[in-house]
Chain A
Amino acid sequence: MKRIYLDHAATTPLHPEVAQAMLPYFSDRFGNASTLYSYGQEAREAVEEARGKVASLAGARSPQEIFFTGGGTESDNFAIGGIAWANQKKGDHIITSAIEHHAVLNTCKFLQKRGFKVTYLPVDHDGFVDPDDIIKVITNKTILISIMHANNEVGTLEPIAEIGKIARDNGVYFHTDAVQSFGHIPLRVDELNVDLLSASGHKLYGPKGVGMLYIRKGTKIVPFLYGGDQENKRRAGTENVPGIVGFGKACEIAAGGMTEESSRLGNLRDQFIKGILEKVEFIQLNGHPATRLPGNVNVSVKYVEGESMLLKLDGKGICASSGSACTSSILEPSHVLSAMGVPPDVAHSSLRFTLGRENTEADVDVVLGVLPEIVKGLRLMSPLYHEK
């Protein structure tokens, strides 16, 4: 059975050119980048070349503003914890949103236990944070604002530049989790007015286990890991050279065709959304129809639970995801959909398809071909459908 992968927001397949670029650093060029002899220097050059590529994709003024990490979660932890601990004398207040990734939310919750005050801003029914809300809650004790660039579940793109301007006008550091958008839509840290930006390698056809935190020069932040001098003493530990090389290569490839690819995926997404709304009744699109990631389709198929649809889709070789929390240990539905005002039963009925570089119209047609039957079968079983 041909498999159709539609879960690129979870992870992406390694680009073959990325794999090729990484291979020598697992074997011949195995050196520790901190050593003086030729093996070490090869590794050092490769790391710095990658740093330059990542910096260029982020629009950083200097590659020295890019700090390699172990992934998106680490970058978020580093940014929020690092700013909080370094700026305690100035204040103890952090502003974030209710729809952030758990890497942000759970870091904030930990800091709350350590005495920091956190405001979780609400979002509207499309998932937008209102910049005016930031103005309302910001105080002279606010030290950090952290709002994601693109939401991982519904793909909504937040008004980052506008929020960044408010942060700057108030002298508050601004972090954005750009894990879902980096390498998929053009972004530049100066245009977004951000001081810190998180990204992850495996979301843009790079390897897992590597990410980066952009830290604007002059930002007061405490190190994430203590040890050697690596990453300008802010993130100690021998560099993951193959991972970093792969991340750099992935950024270079993304930079090359981003405009074309994001417009191709945007069209495919719109076709997908149009088709699914036509073919399946009692269905709603979650998130904004246009201001969303090019590859993101998130719908609620009412009266049917998400995981049961995923299992049926998997039976047809289609790999998708659900905002249903039934797969996790907590039973509450997605915090993102709940914050958007989606009722619990409708939130449990969500399906997320995230398109990527290998997906074509034919893939979308296959899904649109099998989904109505799957939904029909499960609705026959559903007490909610009967009672509607």
Chain B
Amino acid sequence: MRTYSEKVMDHFNNPRNMGEIENPDGVGKVGNPVCGDIMNLFIRVENGRIIDARFKTFGCGAAIATSSMVTQMIKGKTLGEALEISNRAVAEALDGLPPIKMHCSVLAEEALKSAIDDYFKKKELSQDVHG
């Protein structure tokens, strides 16, 4: 467990943006109980820009730290910019992850993509309704 960087421990012990967003514009729910990590990512979008992001995670230290880091990285970014964030970028922002924990950063990237995907689906639906 000592293989975690100070940054990972900081985000684990002081998670940023922990919680939920009421009526979010997009939600990404990824992971499953078998692998032991479940990540929920909530986003608020205005004019194509992510103005708020929050998370709830069941998982190990790395899963919690990557969740926290990804919310911090996407806040203020356009959806296009956010979609360019890779799992490696999340891991690097945490000063690296132990090799066996890299799957946690993959989960963070999946949660982000899934939340943005959800945003576009919701938007399409609402356009259908209004159109």
Contact = CB atoms under 8 A, between A and B. Distances in A.
Nearest to B56: A383
A96 to B, nearest CB: 24
Contact of B33 (A304, A348, A380): A348
A192 to B, nearest CB: 36
A324 B60 contact: yes
B36 A324 contact: yes
Given A308-B64, A382-B56, A331 B1 contact: no
Contact of A384 (B35, B38, B60, B63): B38
A327 B1 contact: yes
Given A305-B63, A311-B1, A348-B33, A381 B57 contact: yes
Contacts of A333: 34, 36
Interface residues of B, number: 27
B64 A381 contact: yes
Contacts of A383: 29, 38-40, 56-58
Interface string A161-199: 000000000000000000000000000000000000000
Contact of A307 (B57, B60, B103): B60
A221 to B, nearest CB: 37
A314 interface: yes
A325 interface: yes
B58 A305 contact: yes
Interface in B65-113: 100, 103
Given A306-B60, A381-B57, 8 more contacts: A305-B37, A311-B4, A326-B60, A327-B60, A329-B100, A344-B34, A381-B58, A386-B20
B27 to A, nearest CB: 11
B39 to A, nearest CB: 8
Interface in B98-130: 100, 103
Contacts of A348: 33, 36
B59 interface: yes
Interface in B31-59: 33-40, 56-59
Interface residues of A, number: 30
16 contacts: A303-B58, A304-B58, A305-B59, A308-B63, A308-B64, A311-B12, A314-B1, A326-B37, A326-B60, A327-B1, A327-B60, A327-B100, A333-B34, A343-B33, A344-B34, A382-B56
Contacts of A331: 34-36, 103
Nearest to B9: A311
A338 to B, nearest CB: 10
B26 interface: no
B1 A305 contact: no
